[in-house]
Amino acid sequence: MINVLKFGGTSLKNSKTIFSVSKIIQEKCKKNKIAVVLSAPAKITNYLEKLIKIAINKKRYEKKILYIKKKFYKIIKKIYKKNKKFNFFKTKKKIDKEINFIQKNLKSIYILNQCPDNTFAKIISRGEILSTYIMKNILISKKYNVDIINPVKNIITFGKILDSYVNIPLSNKNLKKIKIKKNSIILMPGFIAGDKKKKTVLLGRNGSDYSAAILSACFKAKVCEIWTDVDGILTCDPKIVSNPKIIKKISYQNITELSNLGAKVLHHKTIKPLQKFNIPCHIKNTFNKNKKGTEILDLNKKSKKKYHASVTYIKNICMFLIKIKKKENIKKIQKILIKSIKFQNIFIFSLIHFINQNSIKFYCKKKYKKIIKKIIQKKIFKSKNEFKKYIIIKKKLSIISVIKYKITKQKKLINKIKKSLYNSNIKTFLFNNNISKNSISIILKSKHIKIGIKLIHKIIINKKKIIEIFLLGIGGIGKTLLNQISLEKSNLKKLNITINICLISNSNKILFNENKISIKNWKKDFQKIKKKYEEKDLIKTINKITEKNYYINPVIIDCTSSKKISHQYYNYIKNGFHIVTPNKKFNTRNTNHYKKIRKIAKNKEKNFFYETNVGGGLPIIQTIKNLKNTGDKLISFKGILSGSLSYIFGKLEQGISFSEAIKKAKNKGLTEPDPRDDLSGLDVARKLLIIAREFGYQLELKNIIIKNILPEPINKKISIKKFLKKIEDYNKYFYKKVSSAKINNKKIKFIGKINKNGICSIKISKIHKNDPLYGIKNGENALSFYSKYYHPMPLVIRGYGAGKEVTASGVFSDLLKIVL
Ligand code: ADP
Ligand code: ASP
Ligand code: MG
C-alpha cells in the first residue's frame, strides 16, 4: 500500500526547508512506498498572479520576473553548496526554461491586454513544476529512483478552468497505465490538472491539498499526510490567536465544516475524496516532525467527540441588500437569484428576505461581487438606473464562525459571545445560524476581525476565567494588592482564574504591557520608565490601549484617592471596563451621579464594586445589599467608622493625652499624612453617606451633620508641625470628657449615626457599657445596624477597618467577584 505525502508552500519556502522535506521523504520511503505532492515555494504563486495583473494593466513586468528567477537560483545555489552531487546546471537550465516560458506568455498578455484562463493556469503553476524538479534532482543525487506523474495528462477534471473538480474514475484509469518502477519515489506537482483535452487547469488556490487527496483516492492509499508549518489542526489560526490548542482527532465532517468556513489549513475540496474512500488524513508539521499532529478520520459514532470546538474566519466579504418593488413577487425573485448564483458555483452566506420591508439580503466573498452584480442587474432590474436605486452593497466585512457540537442550541453561550462583542464595542451585523446545528457565523466589520476572533476563542476554547487589571495608584493598597495576587497564584490556578496585569500607573508614570506585566518584576520595570505623563492623559492612553487590544474582563482598580480619576469612571465603563475601588470620591458625588453610574454599569453589564469604601475589608456593603434583598428595613445605625479615630479614642481611655495619642497614631501610619484630614470628620462623613445611600436614603454630603471633634475650628493655615503642637491645648478638654463619661460607666467614641428619620450625623458620643461599640479601640471599626429583623439587639460587624492588608484583601475579593 502506498502513503501519499503533500508538502505545502510553507514547507518549501527556502533551501533549508526544502532540505528538511527531502529528509522526511528519504526517511518515509524506507518504510513504505510513497507518492509525494509538492506545492510551489511560499508566495511564488501570489507573485506570479501579481505579474499577470501587471501585464494585463500594461505595466512593466520584466524586472519583477527577475525576482522569481533570483529566488529559485538562490535556492539551488544553497542546495548545491551543501550537496555537490546535486545537478545544479541541469536544474538551472530548467529554471531558465520556465522563466522564459513565463516571460513569453506575459508578453502576449501585455500586448492583448488580457489573459485567457488556460494561459493564466499555465503561468501560475510554474512554481509547482519547479519545486518538483528541484526535489527530483535532490533525490536523484541521493541515489533514489524518481518517477514524476504529470497531473495535466493524468488527473482529469471538469468545471471551471481555474477551479476544477477531478473526475476520479477517469484519472484512476490514466494513473493505472503509468509504469512506475517498484522502488521509486513518485513525485507530482500539486495545484494543477488537465481537462478532457489534457490542457492545464487549476484546482483552485491552495489546491495542492486536493491534489494529494485525489492521488490518495486513486491509489487507495493507506494514509494521506499533509505536511505544513503548524502542529496540526488547531482550534484557531495561530497567526491570529497566540495559544490555540491542537485537535488530536477530528471527523471528516467536522474538518469539512471548518475548511468551508475558512480554516486555511486544508483546502475545502480535500476531504470529500478521502472520506469517500475512507482514507485517514494526518496533518503534520515539517518543522516538528516527531509531533503526532492531527488525525482526520471517520468518527462515525454519534459522539460529541466528532465535533471539536474551533473558531474560523473569512475576510473580504460583502453584503448585498436588494430592495424589491412592492408589486413584485419577492419569493419568485429570490428563486431566480439563487438559481443563477448557484449556476456560477458561487457560495453565498445566509440568504434572508424581509417580506415586510420587501428586501433580500445576503453575503458573499468580495471576489464574486462583480459577477453577482451582473446577475442581479440582468435578472432582476430592467434598467441601470433602477439597479442603482434599489441595491446597496457594503464592503469591508468579515465572517467569524464558531464550530461546536450543537452550538445552535446553546443559547447561553451564543448570548455570551454576543454580549462580549457588544461590550467590546464591536457591532455585529448578523448572527446567523448556518445550515448545520454545529456552527454559527457572525458578520462584522473587517477592522474588528482580529479582536473578535481572539475574544470568541477565549470564550469557546480557553474557558479560563480571565481578569485583566489596570491598576491606578500604587500606594500602600495598590502595592499590597499586587503582592497578595502574587502570593495567591496557586489558589487562583485551582479556581481556574488567571489575573493578567496589563497596566500600572501612579500620578506621573504608566507601565503597560500588551500581554502582561510580570508580577515579580513590576517594580523594576516601573522604575525603568522615564516618560512622565499627566493625570489628564491617562484616559486617552487607556482608550488607545483598549482600541488596539482585546480583553475579556478588563478592570480598572482605582487605588488612588483622586477626584479626577473617579470622574472618569463613566468613560471606563463605556469602554468595557469593570470598576473596583476603595476610592470614596465617586460614591459621594451628588445623587444624580450616584444613580447614573449604576444605570450605565447595568446597561453595559459591568460591575462597579466598592466594598472597601466603608470599613476596609469588612463585608459592609455586601451585608447591606443582603439585608435589603431579603426585605429588611433599617431603623437606625451607629458605628465607629474611622480606624484612626478608633485608635486615638482608645488611647485616651488608657490615660494617654490627646496630643500624644495623635502622634502615636500618626507614627503607626494610621492617620492621613495630615491628621487634620481625620479630625475634620469628612472621611467618616463620606463613609456614613455611602452607608445611608446603600439603604436608599437620598442624601448629599452636605446633609451629613459633622459636629466638631475639637473644641474649636481646625486651623488649616498653620503647618502640620505647628498644628501638632497646638493640639496640646486640647489635652485637658479631652481628659475631662473621658473622666466624666467614666463616672457613668461610659466611654467617649467618635460615632457616625443614622437616626430613625434618616438624619445622619457624626460626633463624639458617650457610649454605655452595654453598647456593642463600648469596647472598640486599637483601630478597630464596628458597625451596628438596628433593623426590622435585627431588633432590639443590633446586627454588629466588627474588625479592623483600615490598614493596607485588610483593604487590599477587600479589593482582591471584589476583583474575584467579577468571575466567580
Ligand atoms: P501550506 O503552505 O502548508 O499549504 P497554508 O498556509 O496553506 O500551508 O496552511 C497552513 C496555515 O493555515 C497555518 O500556517 C495557519 O496559519 C493557517 N490556519 C488557519 N486556520 C488554522 C487552523 N484551524 N489550524 C491550523 N492552521 C490554521
Ligand atoms: N501554490 C498554490 C497556491 O498558493 C497551491 C498550494 O499551495 O496549495 O495556491
Ligand atoms: Mg495550503
Q: How far is the CA of 234 from the centre of ligand 1 (A)?
A: 9
Q: How far is the CA of 228 from the centre of ligand 1 (A)?
A: 7
Q: Which pLDDT value is given to residue 453? A: 94
| Contacts for 656 with CB less than 8 Å, ≥ 6 apart | 664
Q: Which pLDDT value is given to residue 281? A: 97
Q: How far is the CA of 271 from the centre of ligand 3 (A)?
A: 14
Q: Which pLDDT value is given to residue 105? A: 96
Q: Which ligand is closest in space to the CA of residue 208? A: 2
204: left (phi over 0), alpha (psi -120 to 50) or beta: left
Q: Which ligand is closest in space to the CA of residue 257? A: 1
Q: Which pLDDT value is given to residue 355? A: 61
Q: Which of 128, 130, 208 to mutate to test the pocket of ligand 2 (most atoms within 8 A of CB)?
A: 208
Q: How far is the CA of 164 from the centre of ligand 1 (A)?
A: 22
Q: Which ligand is closest in space to the CA of residue 241? A: 1
Q: Which of 37, 205, 283 to mutate to test the pocket of ligand 2 (most atoms within 8 A of CB)?
A: 205
Fold of 465-615: Rossmann fold (3.40.50)
Query: What distance in Å separates the CA atoms of residue 233 and residue 246, rounded to the nearest whole number?
Result: 6
Q: Which pLDDT value is given to residue 332? A: 83
Atom of ligand 2 nearest to the CA of 267: 8
Q: Which ligand is closest in space to the CA of residue 212? A: 2
Amino acid at 198: K
Q: Which ligand is closest in space to the CA of residue 11? A: 1
Q: Residues with beta carbon inside 6 Å of ligand 1? A: 8-11, 39, 42, 206, 228-230, 233-234, 236-239, 263-265, 310
The residue contributing the CA closest to ligand 2 atom 6 is 206
Q: Which CATH number fits domain 2-229: 3.10.129.10, 3.40.50.300, 3.40.1160.10, 3.30.1950.10?
A: 3.40.1160.10
Atom of ligand 1 nearest to the CA of 42: 2
The residue contributing the CA closest to ligand 1 atom 11 is 265
C-beta separation of 142 from 63 below 8 A = no
Torsion angle of C-alpha atoms 359, 361, 366, 370, degrees rounded to 10: -30
User: Which helix (H) or strand (E) is 297 found in, with range?
Assistant: strand 294-297
Q: Which pLDDT value is given to residue 352? A: 67
Q: Which pLDDT value is given to residue 302? A: 56
Q: How far is the CA of 265 from the centre of ligand 1 (A)?
A: 3
Neighbours of ion ligand 3 (CB under 5 A): 8, 206
Atom of ligand 1 nearest to the CA of 267: 7
Atom of ligand 1 nearest to the CA of 209: 4
Q: Residues with beta carbon inside 6 Å of ligand 2? A: 8-9, 39-40, 45, 127, 190-191, 205-208
Q: Which of 94, 269, 606, 687 is catalytic?
A: 687
Q: How far is the CA of 264 from the centre of ligand 2 (A)?
A: 11
- Divide the 820 residues of the chain into consecutive groups of 10 and give the mean pLDDT of each group: 96 96 97 96 96 93 91 97 96 97 96 94 97 98 97 96 96 93 94 96 96 97 97 93 88 89 89 95 95 88 69 93 81 84 76 71 88 86 76 91 90 88 82 78 92 90 85 94 96 92 93 88 92 81 79 91 93 93 96 97 92 93 94 96 93 94 88 85 95 96 93 90 93 94 93 96 94 91 96 93 89 94
The residue contributing the CA closest to ligand 2 atom 7 is 206
Q: Which pLDDT value is given to residue 535? A: 74
| Contacts for 301 with CB less than 8 Å, ≥ 6 apart | none
The residue contributing the CA closest to ligand 2 atom 3 is 206
Query: What distance in Å separates the CA atoms of residue 213 and residue 226, rounded to the nearest whole number?
Result: 9
The residue contributing the CA closest to ligand 2 atom 8 is 206
Fold of 620-802: Dihydrodipicolinate Reductase; domain 2 (3.30.360)
The yes-or-no answer on residue 687 being catalytic is yes
List the one residue out of 473, 398, 403, 489 whose CA is nearest residue 443.
398
Q: How far is the CA of 128 from the centre of ligand 2 (A)?
A: 8
Residue 13: half-sphere exposure toward Cβ, Cα within 13 Å: 9
The residue contributing the CA closest to ligand 2 atom 2 is 206
C-beta separation of 345 from 160 below 8 A = yes
Angle at 482 between CA 480 and CA 486, to 5 degrees: 115
Fold of 310-461: VC0802-like (3.30.2130)
Query: What distance in Å separates the CA atoms of residue 20 and residue 694, rounded to the nearest whole number?
Result: 69
Q: Which pLDDT value is given to residue 180? A: 86
Q: Which of 11, 236, 264 to mutate to test the pocket of ligand 1 (most atoms within 8 A of CB)?
A: 264
Alpha helices in 83-156 (DSSP H): 88-112, 117-124, 126-141, 151-154
The residue contributing the CA closest to ligand 1 atom 1 is 8
Q: Which pLDDT value is given to residue 593? A: 97
Q: How far is the CA of 205 from the centre of ligand 3 (A)?
A: 8
List the one residue out of 636, 722, 644 whose CA is nearest residue 677.
644
Domain range summary for the chain, segments of one domain joined by +: 2-229, 310-461, 465-615, 620-802
C-beta separation of 628 from 752 below 8 A = no
